[in-house]
Chain A
Amino acid sequence: MDLLGNLWIGLETALTPINLLYCLVGVFFGTAVGVLPGLGPVATIAMLLPITFGLPPESALIMLAGIYYGAQYGGSTTAILVNLPGESSSVVTALDGYQMARQGKAGRALATAAIGSFIAGTIATFVIIFFAPPLASIALKFGPAEYFSLMVLGLIASIVLARGSLLHALAMIVLGLFLGLVGTDITSGSERYTFDLPKLADGIDFVIVAMGIFGIGEIVANLENESKRELLAKRVTGLMPTREDWRRIIGPIFRGTVLGSILGILPGGGAMLASFGAYSLEKKVSPNSAEFGKGAIEGVAAPESANNAGAQTSFIPMLTLGVPSNPVMALMIGAMIIQGIQPGPSVMTEQPKLFWGLIVSMWVGNLMLLALNLPLIGLWVRMISIPYHLLYPMIVAFCSIGVFSLSNSTFDVYLMAIFGLLGYVFRKIDAEPAPLLLAFVLGPMMEEFLRRTLLLSRGDATVFFTRPISATMLAVAVVLLLIVLLPSIRQKREEAFEEEAG
Chain B
Amino acid sequence: MFRKIHSALAAAALLAFTGGAQAADWKPEKPIKLIIPFAPGGATDVVSRILAAKVTETIGQPVVVENRAGGGGLIGLSAVREARPDGYTVLVTTIGFGANPALYRHKKIPYDPLKDFTLITRTADIPTVLVVPPSLGINTLQEFIDRAKANPGTLSLGSAGYGTVNHLAGELFKAETGIQTIHVPYRSGGLSTAAVVSGEISGLFATTPSALGHIKNKAMVPLAMGSSKKIDALPDVEPTAKLVPGFDVPDWQGLIGPAGLPKNIVDTLNAQFAAALKDPDVVKRLSDLGAVPAASTPEEFVAFVTSEVKKWNGVADRTGMKAEN
Contacts and interface: CB of A to CB of B under 8 A. Distances in A.
Interface of A: 42-43, 45-47, 49-50, 53, 140-141, 143-144, 184, 186-191, 198-199, 201-202, 267, 317, 321-324, 327, 329-331, 333-334, 337-346, 407-409, 448, 452, 455-456, 458
7 contacts: A198-B70, A199-B71, A338-B285, A340-B288, A409-B70, A455-B156, A456-B184
Closest 6 CB pairs of A and B: A46-B40, A342-B213, A189-B323, A201-B71, A189-B162, A344-B213
Given A47-B40, A346-B217, 17 more contacts: A53-B285, A186-B161, A189-B161, A199-B71, A322-B213, A324-B194, A327-B39, A331-B41, A333-B210, A338-B289, A342-B212, A344-B214, A345-B219, A346-B216, A407-B70, A408-B68, A455-B184
Contacts of A140: 197-198
A199 B216 contact: no
Given A49-B46, A199-B75, A344 B41 contact: no
Nearest to A318: B190
Interface of B: 39-43, 45-46, 49-50, 53, 66-72, 74-75, 78, 103, 110, 153, 156, 161-163, 182, 184-191, 193-194, 197-198, 200-201, 209-210, 212-214, 216-217, 219, 285, 288-290, 322-325
A7 to B, nearest CB: 24
A87 B182 CA distance: 35
B110 A198 contact: yes
Nearest to A406: B69
Nearest to A323: B194
B190 A201 contact: no
A190 B156 CA distance: 20
B53 to A, nearest CB: 7
A407 B69 contact: yes
Contacts of A339: 288
Contacts of B189: 330
A186 B186 contact: yes
Contacts of B110: 198
A190 B325 contact: yes
A321 B324 contact: no
B124 to A, nearest CB: 14
Contacts of B210: 333, 337
Given A46-B41, A143-B198, A346-B217, A456 B156 contact: yes
B182 A322 contact: no
Contact of A190 (B74, B187, B285, B324): B324
B200 A189 contact: no
B140 to A, nearest CB: 23
Nearest to B201: A456
Given A323-B190, A337-B290, A198 B74 contact: yes
Contacts of B285: 53, 338
B71 A345 contact: no
A384 to B, nearest CB: 33
Given A140-B197, A143-B198, A334 B41 contact: yes
Contacts of A322: 197, 213-214, 217, 219
Contacts of B49: 49-50
A43 B212 contact: no
B41 A42 contact: yes
Contacts of A42: 39-41
A346 B217 CA distance: 7
